[in-house]
Amino acid sequence: MTKSVRIAVDCMGGDVGIPATIPASLAFLERNPQASLLLVGDTPQIEAALEGYKAQYAGADYSRVEIEHASEVVAMDDPVEVALRRKKNSSMRVAIEAVKSGQAQACVSAGNTGALMAISRYVLKTLEGIDRPAIATAMPNQKGGATTMLDLGANVDCTAEHLLQFAMMGTALAQTADTGRLPSVGLLNIGEEIIKGNEVVKQAAELLRASPLNFYGNVEGNDIFKGTVDVVVCDGFVGNVVLKSVEGLAHMLGSMIREEFYRSTLTKLAGLVVRPVLNRFRRRVDNRRYNGAALLGLRGIVFKSHGSADDYAFRHALQRAHDAVQAGVLDRIASTVVDLTRHQTGTK
Amino acid sequence: MTKSVRIAVDCMGGDVGIPATIPASLAFLERNPQASLLLVGDTPQIEAALEGYKAQYAGADYSRVEIEHASEVVAMDDPVEVALRRKKNSSMRVAIEAVKSGQAQACVSAGNTGALMAISRYVLKTLEGIDRPAIATAMPNQKGGATTMLDLGANVDCTAEHLLQFAMMGTALAQTADTGRLPSVGLLNIGEEIIKGNEVVKQAAELLRASPLNFYGNVEGNDIFKGTVDVVVCDGFVGNVVLKSVEGLAHMLGSMIREEFYRSTLTKLAGLVVRPVLNRFRRRVDNRRYNGAALLGLRGIVFKSHGSADDYAFRHALQRAHDAVQAGVLDRIASTVVDLTRHQTGTK
């Protein structure tokens, strides 16, 4: 059964703003006939954009759109303090408050990550049993599925307990896509051949082994893309560096292959011949389809879109937030925490 | 001026052993008319292989080859203790001892990393002023050059001082390829937008800023492939995870593009048309060309080849070791340490 889901959209956030968020919202409405949106930002600009895209998104039901005015915008380079203390009527904050008040079940923003995390923590608070929220995303893997990875930068110095909590939250998020099966969890570590892991990781492995989670054991960097496990857990420093490194490699390979095809008239012609093949490949690895990182551990669902997301990418972030609400991720995290506490105290 | 360089080769190490190391050695001799090799391992097997490859490598001058017998082999899954204490006549150990005795100026092994590091430390000892050796490798970057990255797994829990020492050693190694210019050093950190870095990294940045090194500042994961700096410094946990992750991504992308070209007869034909273009691309990104990680900080030059290296990859590791000797990496590290000490004590 599909529940009716309502998502608050920070229409002004990110590098692009309205030219990305409004068409993405309309495309999302076309695809999700049960969903509705609360578009937050500068009302005149939003209204003008809705009018402008009307013909293009004829299938979008405008009656499922509501606008909430917000007079300020959190800039991409605003310090967290400015965003949190001085811009109380920012589109980001109003969107998060809509989740707090129950007007919406989730919020999506392409605005700056630090501000989004800080305001979300301040407005929504963390869930009982969770010390620190974490950022999780899905990465494509060789099995044709996706590997959920967290934390991606919210927590730099982590304890073993934090890593355990990340594993719980990642499990709850990964179950979204599945049907009941308990997702497997891998702890990111380094090769057996070298000195094995640091102290925190060793302790976390013990906690995970003793937990009711489906702990696979240690995994290495390449396992993310092999699809060895459903959820890969690491501290935010490692997660962020890995995420940026693989983005960097993908970008380099993309521009190198373009260079080869633009080398001469002959290679350009060859490029035309294989265009359909390369396009299929490009679609498979298009990271816009994986846009939308979840801020987990809060009393509400918040998704962060890539700052430079276009409408295609932003639509995927909306979809992810929608699917997380429908899968009841919030309740899942809460119940996982309860299970774990019972398990630890032996009152099960 | 090219000095005559002699390299000790652990012919038995790695997944492949002699079928990789011997043809690689002969190809290396063809390309480096001043170099000579000390082939370490099972004499009958080495002699048979040398005979077998004679016709194929007609340009290799066999008078520049010497064989040193070693009766044991360190297996890829041998625990460090076994390799170090029980296999005192392993090809790995004898090759390292040849560096210690001055018989060779460098040694190259595709054997297990933990054993290679442990035996190298035990036999060669660390350089004055270096607390811990580190593992460094070169990664291709978008500028068409290579980014030197360390540590890749020798040191899991690092202090700020260790990171400073890695920066010194990385600088000395990266100068090999250059002509005098002091290589720039970046400290691997996470985005400004999130909480910035951990405590150790913050302290390391201060040490680096106060050092005579060419410190660029913090860099992020994608800067490795952008070529923002010549040397990227991080702790061994982060470095190892990044290395494995990018290998994993590259592998996934490679198999996905193959899948697309093997989808149908039509795409296979298209693949034939673009084969020269794809081959050029493949050569550019072929990680075998980047094979050979340096174990830095020891009183001798030791290079680790990838365990699964074939002859083409192993030849590149030999070349790297050769070039490091010729560039005087060892003296460079020692003099960088002296410079830094002078700088710190203000007696400059």
What are the tens digits of pLDDT across the range A303-314?
Answer: 999 999 999 999
Tell me which of A103-107, B156-160, B233-237 is least confident. Answer: B156-160
On whether any CB of chain A is under 8 Å from the CB of B143, the answer is no
pLDDT of the residue at A194:
52
Give tens-digit pLDDT for A244-274.
999 999 888 888 888 888 888 888 887 887 8
Is the same domain home to B259 and B165?
yes
- Are A148 and A286 part of one and the same domain? yes
Q: Looking at B286, B309, B339, which one is the last position of a domain?
A: B286
What average pLDDT score do residues B2-28 get? 93
Residues 97-126 of A with CB under 8 A from B: 112-114, 117
- Chain-chain contact of B221 with A248 (C-beta, under 8 angstroms): yes
Tell me the pLDDT band of A183, cut-offs 50, 70 and 90: very high
Give yes or no for residue B99 having a pLDDT over 50.
yes
Q: Is the pLDDT of residue A17 over 70?
A: yes
pLDDT value at residue B231:
97
Question: Can you give the pLDDT at residue B316?
Answer: 96
Residues A232-253, mean pLDDT to the nearest whole number: 92
- Write the single-letter amino acid at B304: K
Residue A138 shares a structural domain with residue A283: yes
pLDDT band at B23 (very low <50, low <70, confident <90, very high): very high
Among A residues 197-216, those touching chain B with beta carbons less than 8 Å apart: 197-199, 201
The per-residue pLDDT for B1 is 47
- Cβ-defined contact of A248 to B225 (cutoff 8 Å): yes
Asked if B15 reaches chain A (Cβ–Cβ under 8 Å), the answer is no
pLDDT on residue A1: 46
The ipTM assigned to this model is 0.86
Range of the domain at A321: 1-128+297-327
Please state which of the ranges A21-30, A79-88, A184-193 shows the lowest mean pLDDT: A184-193
pLDDT tens, position by position, A321-347: 999 999 899 998 888 888 777 777 664
pLDDT at B339: 79
d(Cα B319, Cα A125) in Å, to the nearest integer?
57
Residue B315 in this model has a pLDDT that exceeds 90: yes
Contact A107, A99 (CB under 8 A): yes
- B348 pLDDT higher than 50: no
Of A114, A240, A248, the CB nearest to B224: A248
Closest CA to A20 of A309, A291, A318: A309
The chain-wide mean pLDDT, for chain B, equals 90
Residue B292 lies in a domain: no
**A32 and A76 co-located in one domain:** yes
A272 touches chain B (CB under 8 A): no
Question: Which residue in A194, A256, A265, A304 has the most chain B C-beta atoms within 10 A of its own C-beta, making it the best mutation to test that interface?
Answer: A194
Residue B347 lies in a domain: no
**Judgement on whether residues B25 and B91 belong to the same structural domain of the protein:** yes
The neighbour count for residue B79, using CB atoms within 10 Å, is 16
A121 shares a domain with A135: no
Which pLDDT score is estimated for B244? 92
* Residues A4 and A17 occupy one common structural domain: yes
Between B322 and A181, residue with greater pLDDT: B322
Structure confidence by residue, pLDDT tens digits, B234-257: 999 999 999 999 999 988 888 888
CB-based contacts of B189: which residues, under 8 Å, 6+ apart?
Answer: B196, B197, B201, B205, B218, B219, B220
- Is residue A89 a part of any domain in this protein? yes
Residue B348: inside a domain, yes or no?
A: no
Q: Could you say which of B194, B241, B253 has the minimum Cβ distance to residue A238? A: B241
Q: Residue B204 maps to which CATH number?
A: 3.40.718.10
Query: Coil, helix or strand for B147?
Result: strand
Residue B112: list chain A partners with CB under 8 A.
193
Same domain, B280 and B156: yes
Residue showing tokens 């129950």:
A102
The answer on pLDDT for B229 being more than 80 is yes
Q: Specify whether A50 is located in the same domain as A86.
A: yes
The pLDDT of residue A48 is above 80:
yes
Do B123 and B141 lie in one domain? The reply is no
Answer yes or no: is A113 within a domain.
yes
Within-domain flag for A346? no
What are the DSSP calls for A277-342, one per residue? HHHHHHHHH-GGGG--EEEESBSSEEEE--TT--HHHHHHHHHHHHHHHHTTHHHHHHHHHHHHHH
Identify the residue with better confidence: A234 or B177.
Answer: A234
How much is the pLDDT for A196? 59
Distance in angstroms (rounded) separating the CA atoms of residues A314 and A24: 6
User: What is the rounded average pLDDT for all residues in chain A?
Assistant: 90
d(CA A341, CA A347): 9
Q: Output the pLDDT for position B238.
A: 94
In the predicted model, what is the mean pLDDT of residues A226-245? 95
Interface test with B, best of A245, A251, A264, A281 (most B CBs within 10 A): A245
Q: How confident is the model at residue B338 (pLDDT cuts 50, 70, 90)?
A: confident
Give me the pLDDT at residue B347, please.
Answer: 45
Subunit contact A114:B193, Cβ cutoff 8 A: yes
Kindly state the percentage of chain A with pLDDT values over 90. 68
pLDDT confidence of residue B346: 60
Give the pLDDT confidence score for residue B3 in this predicted structure. 66
- Residue A31 burial (10 A CB sphere; 0-12, 13-18, 19+): middle
Read off the pLDDT of residues B106-138 as tens digits, 9 standing for 90 and up.
999 999 998 999 999 999 999 988 988 999 999
Same-domain check for residues B122 and B226 = no
The DSSP result for A89-142, as a single string, is: TBHHHHHHHHHHHTS-SEEEE-S-HHHHHHHHHHHH-BPTT-SS-EEEEEEE-T
Name which of A131-135, A176-180, A232-236 the model is least confident about.
Answer: A176-180
* Residue A191 lies inside a defined structural domain of this protein: yes
For residues A90-116, average pLDDT:
96
Q: Residue B324: its pLDDT value, please?
A: 93
Question: For chain A, what is the domain count?
Answer: 2
Is there a contact between B240 and A221 if contact means CB atoms under 8 Å apart? Answer: yes
Task: Judge whether A223 lies within some domain.
Answer: yes
Choose between A100 and B278: higher pLDDT. A100
Chain A residues whose CB is inside 8 A of the B195 CB are: 114, 153-156, 236
- At residue A3 the predicted structure's pLDDT band, cuts being 50, 70 and 90, is low
The verdict on B18 and B121 lying in the same domain is yes
pLDDT above 70 (res A2): no
pLDDT at position A129 is: 86
Question: What pLDDT does residue A336 have?
Answer: 83
Choose the weakest-confidence range: A54-58, A203-207, B252-256: B252-256
* Residue of B241, B268, B281 to mutate when probing chain A, most A C-beta within 10 A: B241
